[in-house]
């Protein structure tokens, strides 16, 4: 049986540490989340983020807008939040309605308040090997999880399945910067199995039943980012956990692996931005 990369346990440890640090603050960091429309998954994510922030004492405000909101209205609000010194971190919950250009919206966030690390400045820093103000939450969470279990990526062949802007692409840059050899796969990749079998560390971020036991090596570390509901309404990941966990060296479960680490990273990022902004003022 594989070593389980336990994201819940690490979340509890890291958030407890963060809470004791925050207990000593006289002014609390503030995170503002912009939520557009009625997407139930987005509402759930935002609710979880808000609950976690509240437990830590981080001030969390959610600004909700109907689907009909215009790009101009959102841009005006972001500009306002950028210049509001009481706001340390801004998050725009994705996806946005089709009539809104998500790049325009994200690009408007000040890089020093960009808690997701998605602005061109932060992603550009990441690609060029410079340190961004913060690292994108899910890739950062994956690094924290691997680090907790003493799994180094240096010199390893890391295969990432999925090339999204929020997981696959930033993760590949972070892996490269940490001296891993990286292969990125996607829906056009031929012979996926032949590639995943060469992975020392396999990260799957797809959102469907994909990774079977014949696709991984026995000594591999498997990180499952995917989350979806199966036909019985059960939350599961991309990896056939029951069979793959019997043979690999280490594996992250779903739920309880990368998910809790993403939210933990969001809290850590909020506090990092707060500290950076306050240091700047001194
Ligand atoms: P996404 O934008 O949904 O994209 C999915 C990626 O998977 C795309 O790059 C797609 O390729 C690739 N793909 C689809 N079918 C494939 C196949 N048969 N073989 C190989 N690659 C395939 O990605 P995302 O937003 O990163 O989300 C991915 C999953 O992770 C979702 O289940 C999401 O809910 C979950 N997620 C979890 C967390 C967490 O905290 N645990 C955070 C973020 C996302 P193309 O580019 O060619 O279309």
pLDDT tens digits for 6-43?
A: 999 999 999 999 999 999 999 999 999 999 999 999 99
Q: What pLDDT sits at residue 266?
A: 98
Index of the ligand 1 atom closest to the CA of residue 210: 18
215/217 Cα distance (integer angstroms): 7
Does pLDDT of 139 surpass 60? yes
Distance 225 CA to ligand 1 centre (A): 8
Strands of the sheet with 250-251, listed across from one edge: 3-4, 250-251, 221-224, 201-204, 157-161, 181-185
| 282 has pLDDT over 50 | no
pLDDT band at 195 (very low <50, low <70, confident <90, very high): very high
Q: Is the pLDDT of residue 254 over 80?
A: yes
Encode pLDDT of 44-81 as tens digits.
999 999 999 999 999 999 999 999 999 999 999 999 99
Residue 206 alpha carbon to ligand 1 centre in Å: 3
116 is catalytic: yes
The yes-or-no verdict on residue 279 having pLDDT over 90 is no
Question: Is 77 annotated as catalytic?
Answer: no
Tens of pLDDT along 204-242?
999 999 999 999 999 999 999 999 999 999 999 999 999
Q: Which residues of 202-222 are buried (b: 16+ CB within 10 A; e: fewer)?
A: bbbbbeeebbeeebbbeebbb
Cis link prior to 139 (omega < 30° from 0)? no
Kindly list the structural domains of the chain, giving each domain's residue range(s) and its CATH number in brackets, ordered by start. 29-110 (3.40.50.10860), 137-259 (3.40.50.720)
């Amino acid at each position: 049986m594989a070593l389980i990369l336990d994201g819940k346990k690490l979340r509890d440890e890291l958030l407890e540490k963060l809470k004791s640090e925050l207990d000593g603050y006289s002014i609390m960091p503030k995170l503002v989340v912009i939520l557009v429309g009625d997407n139930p998954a987005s509402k759930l994510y935002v609710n979880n983020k808000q609950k976690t922030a509240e437990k830590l004492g981080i001030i969390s405000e959610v600004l909700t807008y109907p689907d009909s909101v215009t790009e101009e209205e959102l841009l005006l609000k972001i500009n306002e939040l950028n210049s509001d010194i009481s706001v340390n971190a801004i998050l725009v919950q994705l996806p946005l309605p089709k009539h809104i250009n998500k790049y325009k919206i994200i690009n408007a966030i000040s890089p020093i308040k960009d808690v997701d690390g998605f602005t061109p400045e932060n992603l550009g820093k990441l690609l060029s090997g410079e340190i961004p103000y913060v690292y994108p939450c899910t890739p950062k969470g994956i690094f924290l999880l691997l680090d907790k279990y003493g799994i180094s990526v240096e010199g390893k062949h890391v295969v990432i399945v999925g090339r999204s802007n929020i997981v696959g692409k930033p993760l590949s840059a972070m892996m490269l910067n940490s001296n891993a050899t990286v292969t990125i796969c996607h829906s056009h990749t031929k012979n996926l199995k032949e590639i995943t079998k060469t992975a020392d560390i396999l990260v799957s971020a797809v959102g469907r039943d994909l990774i079977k036991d014949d696709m991984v090596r026995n000594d591999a570390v498997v990180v499952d980012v995917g989350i979806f509901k199966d036909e019985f309404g059960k939350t599961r990941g991309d990896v056939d956990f029951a069979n793959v966990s019997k043979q690999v060296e280490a594996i992250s479960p779903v739920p309880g692996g990368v998910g809790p680490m993403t939210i933990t990273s969001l809290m850590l990022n909020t506090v990092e931005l707060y500290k950076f902004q306050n240091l700047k003022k001194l």
